[in-house]
Amino acid sequence: MATPTKAASQPAYALTLDLTGRRVVVVGGGPVAARRARGLLDAGAAVEVVAPWLCEDLADLVGAGALTWHERDYVAGDLLQPEPAWLAHTATGDRATDDQVAREAQAARIWCVRADDAGASSAWTPAVARGRSGSPAEGLSVAVTAGGDPRRAVAVRDAVAAALDSGSLPVRRTRGAEPGRSVGRVALVGGGPGAEDLITVRGRALLAAADVVVADRLGPTGLLDRLGEDVEVVHVGKTPGHHPVPQERINELLVHHARLGRQVVRLKGGDPFVLGRGGEEALHCAAHGVPVEVVPGVTSAVSVPAAAGIPVTHRGVTASFVVASAHDGAGPAVQALRDAPADATLVLLMGVSRLAETAEALVAAGRRADTPVALVESGWTERQRTTVTTLERAAADADAAGVRAPAVVVVGDVVALRASLGDLAG
List the catalytic residue out of 117, 238, 397, 423: 238
- Establish whether 216 is a catalytic residue: yes
Determine the Cα–Cα distance for residues 162 and 157; give it in Å rounded to an integer: 9
Concerning whether 268 is annotated as a catalytic residue, the answer is no
Integer angstrom CA distances of residue 86 from 16, 81, 83, 114? 13, 12, 9, 15
Nearest CA among 247, 219, 246, 239 for reference residue 352: 239
Residue 377 pairs with which residues in a beta bridge? 385, 407
Report the b/e string of 374-384 with b at 16+ CB within 10 A: bbbbbbbbeeb
Output phi, psi for 32, to 5 deg. -65, -45
Spot the catalytic one: 98, 116, 216, 271. 216
Question: How do beta strands 385-390 and 372-377 pair?
Answer: antiparallel
CA pair distance 262, 234, nearest whole angstrom: 14
**Integer Cα distance of 348 and 42 in angstroms:** 53
Buried b (16+ CB within 10 A) or exposed e, 54-89: beeebeebbeeeebebeeeebeeebbeeeeebbbbb
Cα-Cα end-to-end distance for the chain: 65
Q: In the 8-state DSSP scheme, what is residue 378? A: S
H helix or E strand, kind and range, residue 25: strand 23-27
Element of type H or E holding 37: helix 31-42
Question: Position 278: which residue type?
Answer: G
Backbone CA torsion sign across 23, 29, 33, 34 = positive
Burial 269-279 (b: 16+ CB within 10 A, else e): bbbbbbbbbbe
**Whole-angstrom Cα distance, residue 57 to residue 35?**
9
Phi and psi at residue 348, to the nearest 5°: -110, 130
Check residue 318 and report its DSSP letter.
B
171 in Cβ contact with 209 (< 8 Å) = yes
Q: Which residues are catalytic?
A: 216, 238
